[in-house]
Structure formats: structure tokens, C-alpha cells
Copies of this chain bind each other. A is one copy, B any other.
Amino acid sequence: MNKFETVDMQQIADMTGVSRSTVSRALSGSPLVSFKTRDLIINAAKQTGYVMNTAARNFRLGRTGVIAVVLTLEHDSPQTINDPFFMEIIAEIAEYLRQRNYNTLIAHERLDDASSFLQSQTVSASDGVIFIGQGKKHEALNELANSGFPIAVWGDATLDCDYTVVGCDNRQGGYLAAKHLIEQCHRKHLAFLGDTHFPEPQARFKGYLDALQEAGLAETNSPLHINISFDPSTAQKALEEFFTRETEVDGIVCCSDLIAIAAISAAQRAGKSVPNDVSVIGFDNISLSQLISPQLTTVAQPIAAGAKSMCESIFAQLSGERPRDDISQAQLIIRDSA
């Protein structure tokens, strides 16, 4: 029992000589209340320091007041969220939802198949779910969407999605990055770092290949597959091996800023200077990308706008609407690393 919510609607009702119903109506802005009583009630509420019990309200309204966020990518990794990109997008989501008087639930729910997901606590404790990344769960997500439960997904839209997809044009992002390396940085031996088993990296890889093709460098590419939500030391080791093996690589497109930061670090450890010996481009444009040295050249993702879009999509679905996707252009931000 929260002993700090001393006053409830009944007390306001008693004070003002009206019924609970009227207090309820007045406080939730119903037009069915006369100005006079409404002001009376609102004043009384202020004076007593009344704060509505939102749990009771949501309960009565048959909703939870919660939107869950699920990180699809953490499939077999025991790790929690350690990619700043996740954190930034979650922060944006939380901030937007807070403005709409919703809570954000950071869920740790695996998505295997739609029906078992629908029976999860995450679903029963929320009014909708935002997935960050499609993982390899495209089918399950489609099924889930068709069940009618509101979801929105941060991901790539090249698949045939029944669910709301929000993100950027990943193919274009990969293309712009590789093209920049080739044309502006005059690089010839490019590499791609990311796990192309997932839709977004895959699309970026495709764009990367397109740029290579266009430049007649299609055979020189050397992709290294790394899991995005990786363990720092594992990634370091893989990257060190990479640099000792691929000695002539002079340009790298990374699938996240975190990977780019690790790649720069590994390159420097291997005695290479960035961007002199090797140019590195990230993806996401997390706020940290400006803080490190060299400042990261990167493909910006519309984090804040995307977070808002996904939330709005959920709300639209809760109102029975059927909203569109929101795929923005990729934008190359040129700084110092490439």
C-alpha cells in the first residue's frame, strides 16, 4: 500500500459536495461537467495535492499504460544491452512515451513463435511491443502482427513485412559509405564488418557490394562477420586477427559505431593509423562518435525520429488505425575517420 497517496477521488467529492463520478469526469477533462463544478473540483484537487492513481485508472480502462521494448538481437548472447545505440534509442522511446503518460518496459523476452510470445508476461504486461532489430525472426514478427497485437519494429524494410518497420535505407547507407571510401578516400581494398545473417547488415552489405561493383572493385572485398551485440574482448580478438591477416585492407565499412570504435582501436594496436593507413566508417551516429579521436565518419540513423515513429505506430494501432512504415534516407556524416 502506497501510504503516500492519502487522498482519493472520494475525498475530493466529499469536499466539493459532488459524486465520485463528477470528480472523475472533471479531472479527465470530460465536457459533461459545468465550468463551475469543474473549477471547484480542480481547485480542491490542487489544494489537497491529489495525484490520480494511474494504476487504478489503467486497470479500469483495461490497459497497462506500458509499451515494452524488446531487443531482438540478443538471441543466444547472455549479455544485456551494451551497445550505446540500443541505449540511445531506448532513451528516446522512453522520453517520448513519458510525454504520452506511458511507461517503457525494457523486456527480456525471446521471440520464438508468435503464439508463445502472445502468452508471455511481456505481452500481458504491455499494450504494445517495440522490437529493436528483426533478428532472424521475420516470420514470427509477421505472424505476431497479424494476430492484432500492436507491434513496431526497428529494422530493414526490404523484406515483405506485415508489421510496421521503421529505420533507414540500409542498402543506401552501405552504398554511401563504400562509395565515400572509394571516391573521396581513394581506397581500393575494402572490408565490411558486421553480421550479415541479419536483415539490416545484409542490406548494408548489399549496398557496399553495389558500390564496389560500380567502381570495378567487386572482387577485393573481404567481409568479416561479427555479431553486433558482442563481447568486447571477443570482438577485440577477432579484429586483431583480422588486421594481421588482411594487411592490405585500407578502408572499412562497419555495421555500427561500436564496431567502428573497436576496429579503430584494433587498427591502432596493429600499428595502423586511422585515417592515414586505413579509413573507417561507422553506422548509427551515436553521440559518442563525436567524442572519440579520430571523430567518427558514420552513416546517421534517425534515432529520435524513428523512436517517435514506432511509438506513434503503436498508438495508431491501439486506436484501430493501420499506419505506414517510416523509412528515412541514410545520411553520411563525414568527420575524421574516413
Q: A54-B121, A119-B49, A236-B290 are in contact. Are A1 and B63 (CB under 8 A)?
A: yes
> A87 contacts which chain B residues (CB < 8 A)?
81, 84, 87, 91
Residues in B with CB closer than 8 Å to A123 are 4, 51
> Which residues of A200-242 have CB atoms within 8 Å of chain B's CB atoms?
232-233, 235-236
Tell me the A153-173 residues at the B interface (CB within 8 Å): none
Q: Is A9 an interface residue (CB 8 A)?
A: no
Q: Which of A51, A54, A235, A261 neighbours the largest number of chain B CB atoms within 10 Å of its CB?
A: A51
Interface assignment of A197: CB less than 8 Å from any CB of chain B = no
The proximity string for A residues 34-77 relative to B, scoring 1 for CB distances below 8 Å and 0 otherwise, is 00000000000000010111111011001110100000000000
What is the minimal beta-carbon distance from A320 to any residue of chain B, in angstroms? 12
Give the complex CA separation of A1 and B232 in angstroms.
43
Segment at the B interface, from A10-18, A135-143, A180-188, A264-272: A264-272
A338 within 8 A of B: no
Where the two chains meet, the residues of A that have a C-beta atom closer than 8 Å to any C-beta of B are 1-5, 49, 51-56, 58-59, 62-64, 66, 80-82, 84, 87-88, 91-92, 94-95, 98, 103-108, 118-121, 123-125, 127, 147-149, 232-233, 235-236, 258, 261-262, 264-266, 268-269, 287-288, 290-293, 295
9 smallest CB-CB distances across A and B, nearest first, come from: A265-B293, A1-B62, A87-B87, A268-B293, A51-B124, A49-B119, A94-B106, A232-B290, A59-B59
26 contacts between A and B (CB under 8 A): A2-B127, A3-B148, A4-B124, A51-B119, A51-B121, A51-B124, A53-B124, A54-B125, A55-B55, A59-B59, A80-B92, A80-B95, A84-B84, A87-B87, A94-B106, A95-B108, A98-B106, A103-B103, A103-B105, A104-B106, A258-B288, A261-B288, A261-B291, A265-B291, A266-B293, A292-B292
